[in-house]
Structure 1
Amino acid sequence: MFRSETYKNRRAQLSKDVNEGIILLLGNTESSMNFADNHYHFVQDSSFRYFFGLINPDIAGIIDCDSGEEMLFGDDLTIDQIVWTGFQPTMKELAEQVGIDKTAPFAKLAELVQKALADGRTVHYLPPYRATQRITLSNLTNQAVSKVDEGASVKLIKAIVKQRNIKTTEEIEELEKAVDITAQMHIAAMQHTRPGMKEYEVGAIVQNTAKMHGAELSFPMIITKDGQTLHNHYQGNTLKSGDLLLCDSGAQAVSGYCGDMTRTFPVDKKFTSRQAELYQIALDAHEAAIKELAPGKRFKDIHLLAGKTIFEGLKAVGLTKGDTESAVAAGAHTMFMQTGLGHMMGMDVHDMENLGEPYVGYTDELKKSTEFGLKSLRLGKALEAGNVITVEPGIYIIPQLIDLWKSEKKYEEFINYDELEKYKDFGGIRIEEDFVITDEGAKMLGRQVPKTIADVENTRA
């Protein structure tokens, strides 16, 4: 938790930007796995935590933009609860930690919200991403559950994105901690992977490294020999000589800030010549993108540069042909890079994604594409100093996509399908690092993890 002044200043700015009505921010509730008292790991709503700082469940905050009044709603624990949880601070004590004077039981929240609505005032709330949030908002605002999403405040969304989009010095310090732990997770995986291990054994090393530093995982880790499957969470394969292992994982620090990195390395001590060829192309795309990071540069353009670098590099291998500019303009590079180049990162590993990519990664002028490949680019707008982003180009050889496009003769002027057939068993490669955009360009967060072929092989040895 930051100093109380941080949260007070954040709420004051939010109130100023929204300017009218009341702002309602719901914290998350516990979520049961298989019976009421057996919960999933609790994660606080990031926008609530950003403005109110608290990680306790079943709390909501109100900011009155007209009067300047701020309130926290929640219930003190009963003795029956304290028996199980131990003593916890009262609502008044929690409120004082984040600079708020007024509290009330959670049941009083409906009374305040419904009075505001009866008085003709606007109640601003965010789009819900959990069923419990949707039901709570339905009860608070007297709307049908099916109508709640429609009532979400675009004005509030844009005001929150405006603030959370630019990371402060104290936020960057926390992000550095998260990414540094993330780096150590990846180094541990790279050092300890051996033929004969299960993917989940490598996963255990990665998760244990996070836990040893007091961190949680920032998202369900991807540890797979089948790197061509973009979000592959299955970890039951046995690693064998000749495999590549893709490890995509990150730490969430105690403060709530996240890291997100990917490395791909051979299960053997060295890359095969075929693996090294494609790995170097992916690394070249990664480095080309990094060099372009700077305020004012459109991330969409950097994404397309990475696609051109990959397409051009694959010509030497014999997998692509023709004019690179024309090929990328047509979308032929998406045979190999179907994903976006990266995304915002902060208190969420895909920062603010619940608020909507059109508001977070795009602008009223720059709309998100619906084309294959480009539709997966979460961030397209011009970069600003204070943005924290990932850069993660990749090469993914997907047999089913090859078969489909080959049967359709799609992009056959740009793709050498006969040669590509020989790579169907290749898998996938991704290299990902995290950066903060500065006035001069960009700075990598966290410690360096081996990524050149020589450094990866030295670590594997």
Structure 2
Amino acid sequence: MSTSPLNKAPISQLPLSDFTEHRAALMAKMPNSSIALFPGASELTRSNDTEYAFCQNKNFLYLTGFNEPDALLVLLKDEQGKAESILFSLAKDALHEIWQGRRIGQIKAVQDYSVDKSFVVAEIDSLLPDYLDGKSQVFFGFSNHDFAAQVFTWLKQVSGSIRQGAKTPQHLTDVDPMVAELRLIKTDNELALMRQANHISGLAHQRAMQKCHVGKFEYQIEAEILHEFARHGARHPAYASIVAGGDNANILHYTANNEVLKNNELLLIDAGAELAGYAADITRTFPVNGKFTTEQKAIYQLVLDAKNLAINSIKPGMSFAKLNVLTNAFLTQGLVDLGILVGDLTELISDKKVKEYFIHGLGHWLGLDVHDVGDYHISTDREQLRAFEVGMVMTIEPGIYIPLNDLSVAEKWRGIGVRIEDNIAVTATGFENFTVNSPQTIEDIEDLMAEIQKA
């Protein structure tokens, strides 16, 4: 177990060697005489002739590190097992580069990204049928329906040349589960990058506490968070930040962030930085005025203790299913002690009554995606049975949500929403908590906010 802060020099991107190793690991799983196809993302129009900030397809990014739109990665394995990587990318274009920015081009794609060959995007349709011809198996992502349709167009071109000796691949395989299994286990460099993304995100949560005052708008606190991300090199959030004051915390994916922060209410912030494509996902809940009420303190401490119970149980061989049993029983007992749940404890646990107030899952995989890829081995009764392995990274995020309109509980509890979320890596001896530099105990939060409000 480790809860120490950064103890190595921070990194802001993965080295090229990681991407070549990712490709090699995937090609080792491909049979001889096969081909795998990975499209990059395209730019998306936001309004008229402006685009959203570009976000690369994460499988493509995992295998290349290449961050231009409309690219295509082709991995080939011949009948003798010789592997080859080919990158199609946008051509150098002087006029485009004046208006929109520089492009890597084909020469530097080979030099800087360690692929064997690179061609311009315009050559894809003429070259792909030749690459498919004679292969026995084609790997591509079935979930990308537009690209799948394009693959079938190329295959149709191959089948149209059968009389001329062409051979159409006989087996089509969804490559996404194969890549997901690789992405689920992080390399040392990926772990270092995620550790740094967490460190930056922790600084942002500290800043939010420091800048919080009654009367500010939620979006003003969001701006402070984004400022801190960018100040440390993470130009984009990993997801739309949730800055939810008072009863808004009981809306799980609240992103309007447009209401005034009020006295004697809590502020729930779910926000994480993205660094070189890798996500942090952290939640902190604290009092707007810097001081927990008695009821807020009781709910907050219960959630914090549940989170720590779950995290301290993490080790190789543990599973979300086992953690859920521990956490749900603990939260049930806590809600009974507070008088929020009433009845026989054994029956309440058996009936999962805690889910009336803990209404989401305990955690999820984390990596290039916030809700990262990887099989949970879900059973028929929806238990996540997969055993944890060294190199997996996950969130642990228990919460208790009591909306203002919940008339089944005493009025003093209504409008309280608390979630606390850390990012955890599984190690050989247990776990490492990446989320260590933003306050989470009641005392630490109140002390930090008292210092700022005195200043």
Deviation at 1:243, TM superposition (A): 0.9
Distance 2:70 2:432 in 1: 38
Find the residue that maps to 1:227 and give its secondary structure.
helix
Contact map agreement 1:109 1:140 (CA 8 A) in 2:
no
CA distance in 2, matches of 1:443, 1:166: 14
Deviation for aligned residue 1:424: 6.5
* Alpha carbons 2:39, 2:147 under 8 Å: kept: no
SS at match of 1:153: strand
What is the CA deviation profile of residues 331-360 of structure 1, one whole-angstrom value per residue up to 9, with x for unaligned ones? 2110010111111111112112xxxxxxx2
Paired residues in the alignment total 416
Pairing of 1:346-385 with structure 2 (within 5 A): 346-352=367-373, 360-363=374-377, 366-367=378-379, 369=381, 380-385=385-390
Q: Does 1:292 align with 2:298?
A: no
Counterpart of 2:113 (choices 81, 91, 98) is: 98
CA distance in 2, matches of 1:3, 1:388: 20
> In 1, are the aligned partners of 2:19 and 2:63 still within 8 Å (CA)?
yes
4+ runs deviating over 6 angstroms: none
C-alpha displacement at 1:115, in angstroms?
4.1
Residue in structure 2 matched with residue 14 of structure 1 by the alignment: 26
Alignment RMSD: 2.2
The corresponding residue for 1:202 is 221
Structure 2 stretches lacking a partner, 5+ long:
1-12, 156-170, 451-455
Number of the residue aligned with 2:55? 43
What's the counterpart of residue 172 of structure 1? 191
Structure 1 length normalisation: TM-score? 0.85
Measure, in 2, the Cα distance between the counterparts of 1:450 and 1:33: 37
388, 395, 398: which one aligns with 2:393: 388
Q: Give 1:323 deviation, angstroms.
A: 3.8
Which residue in the other structure is 1:33 paired with?
A: 46
Look up the match of 2:161.
none
2:299 maps to: 278
* Structure-2 separation of matches of 1:427 and 1:306: 20
Helix, strand or coil for the counterpart of 2:19? helix
Map 1:16-415 → 2, pairs under 5 A: 16-20=28-32, 21-35=34-48, 37-66=49-78, 67-115=82-130, 119=134, 121-128=136-143, 134-142=145-153, 153-154=173-174, 156-215=175-234, 216-225=236-245, 226-253=248-275, 255-352=276-373, 360-363=374-377, 366-367=378-379, 369=381, 380-398=385-403, 402=406
Whole-Å separation in 1 of the counterparts to 2:435 and 2:252: 24
Q: Distance in 1 between matches of 2:130 and 2:352?
A: 54
Instruction: Please give the alpha-carbon distance, in whole angstroms, between the structure 1 residues aligned to 2:346 and 2:185.
Output: 33
Change (3 A) 1:328 1:393: same
Post-superposition shift, 1:191? 1.1
Per-residue CA distance 1:282-330 (angstroms, 9 max, x = gap):
1111111011111001112102321211111111211113343432332
Change (3 A) 1:142 1:87: closer
Aligned CA distance change for structure 1 residues 152 and 324 (closer, same or farther; 3 Å): farther
Please state how far the C-alpha of 1:104 moved relative to its aligned partner: 1.5
2:39, 2:435 → 1: CA distance? 32
Alpha-carbon distance, 1:251 to partner:
0.4
Letter in 1 for 2:438: V
Contact conserved, 1:44 with 1:57, CA < 8 A, in 2?
A: yes
TM-score (norm 2): 0.86
Within the alignment, does 1:426 sit opposite 2:415 as a pair?
A: yes
Change in CA separation of 1:236 and 1:6 when aligned onto 2, cut-off 3 Å:
closer
Give the aligned partner of residue 147 of structure 1.
Answer: none
Distance 1:28 1:221 in 2: 23
Would you say the 8 A contact 1:110–1:140 is kept in 2? no
Mapped contact 2:295–2:412 kept (Cα < 8 A): no
Partner amino acid for 1:200? Y
**Cross-structure match for 1:355:** none
Q: CA 1:322/1:458 → structure 2, altered by over 3 Å: closer, same or farther?
A: same
Identity %: 29
Per the TM alignment, residue 19 of structure 1 is displaced from its structure 2 partner at its CA by 2.2
- Per-residue CA deviations over 1:10-35 (Å, capped at 9, x if unaligned) read 21110111325211011111111122
Q: Is the 8 A contact 2:333 2:345 kept in 1?
A: yes
Shift in Å, 1:157: 2.4
Comparing 24-33 with 6-15, greater Cα deviation is found at 6-15
- Equivalent residue number for residue 10 of structure 2: none
What amino acid sits opposite 1:444 in the alignment? N
Structure 1 residues 135 and 318: alpha-carbon distance in aligned structure 2, compared to 1, 3 A threshold: same
How far the C-alpha of 1:8 sits from its partner, in A, is 2.0
Q: Cα distance, 1:72 vs. partner?
A: 0.4
Query: 1:296·1:383 contact (CA, 8 Å) conserved in 2?
Result: yes
Q: Flag the 1:4–1:214 CA change in 2: closer, same or farther, 3 A.
A: closer
- The residue type equivalent to 1:362 in the other structure is Y
